[in-house]
Amino acid sequence: MSFEVSLAPRIFAKAMKAMMQEIRIRWLMKAVQYTDNILLLWTNKLELEKKTQEIIIQLYSMGWTIQEKKCRLMGEQIFTFLGWEINSIKEEIKITKDKQKNLKALIQATLRRIRMGDIISIKEIASILGMLNFLRTTIQEASFYNPQMNRIIRNHVVNNYWDVTLIAPKQIITEIELRHKMININIPLNISHFNPTVTPTTDASIDSWSRTLDTQTSPRYWKFGPFAPKEKIRSSNFRETTAVPLSLIKIQPILNELQIKDFLVQTDNQITAHNIN
């Protein structure tokens, strides 16, 4: 796809439409396309491999270029993807050894700069935070471990001071060292599917929060409450995220009464979903 073209994924998908129809009609296969990725589904492994090779030949004949090094042409139960090792046998996901090594090197270099009092830019702090947020996939609470880094970035970005430089702040050492400990442990995340028996839905306005609670055996529960004065003046993303723990505190007695262990929180705010996941 062409870089720096906002419509590139849409253009590519439209260009691939004829080929996707050809796959479904000629090979009678289930095929799913996401931007420049194609997922082929078939019930028999040997037949799938044979049909995949035929489709590759057809793609080449139509002028398409395939990066075979990035493709998975045979089914695997243990594979790596974007720095993660995914094990479908144990239904687990964890950081690959190479990614673990690179993250540890980044953290150690950052800690050296901070302890030496080097000059660092806000862009660099944001970049480091972005790389450390890689852990969110396996450590859901990781996004709550960096309040100091977020505060430093927010205080400067609110005035569009992205290019500001400052002495590397020592108050973020604890947060970075905690990430280093997490990476060393590298506990796999279980990705097996669960069936939630309770679904709380949260929402927030300028001055209050609300939630509904749906269960499989009981009627819908509804509750709302006001934000504290300090919470009201924060961003809408902050209020939406804050509505989640406030709601969970209120439904704790219901969860205990119904002996609920698994539940799924629903929200219409993308940042909130990213934070709690």
pLDDT for 132 equals 76
- Compute the distance between CA of residue 202 and CA of residue 215 in angstroms, rounded to an integer: 15
HSE-CB at 55 with a 13 A cutoff on CA atoms is 25
Q: Which amino acid is at 198?
A: V
pLDDT for 72 equals 80
CA dihedral 41, 42, 46, 51 (to 10 degrees): -70
Whole-structure pTM over 0.85, yes or no?
Answer: no
pLDDT for 127 equals 81
Q: Tokens 């590759």 map to which residue?
A: 56
- Compute the distance between CA of residue 82 and CA of residue 62 in angstroms, rounded to an integer: 29
pLDDT in tens, 19-38: 888 888 999 888 888 777 88
pLDDT for 140 equals 62
pLDDT for 12 equals 81
Helix, strand and coil content of the chain, in percent to the nearest 5, comes to: 50, 20, 30
pLDDT for 245 equals 84
pLDDT below 70 — which residues of the chain? 1-5, 139-146, 158-161, 193-194, 215-221, 233, 277
Query: Is the Cα dihedral 148, 149, 154, 159 positive or negative?
Result: positive
* Mean model confidence pLDDT for the chain: 79
Burial class of residue 173, CB neighbours in 10 A (0-12, 13-18, 19+): middle
- Compute the distance between CA of residue 263 and CA of residue 42 in angstroms, rounded to an integer: 33
pLDDT for 9 equals 77
pLDDT for 176 equals 79
Q: Which amino acid is at 34?
A: Y
- Compute the distance between CA of residue 40 and CA of residue 269 in angstroms, rounded to an integer: 32
Q: Which amino acid is at 86?
A: I
Which of the 8 DSSP states describes residue 96? -
- Compute the distance between CA of residue 117 and CA of residue 48 in angstroms, rounded to an integer: 58
pLDDT in tens, 172-219: 788 778 878 878 877 787 777 667 777 788 888 888 877 777 766 665
- Compute the distance between CA of residue 58 and CA of residue 4 in angstroms, rounded to an integer: 29
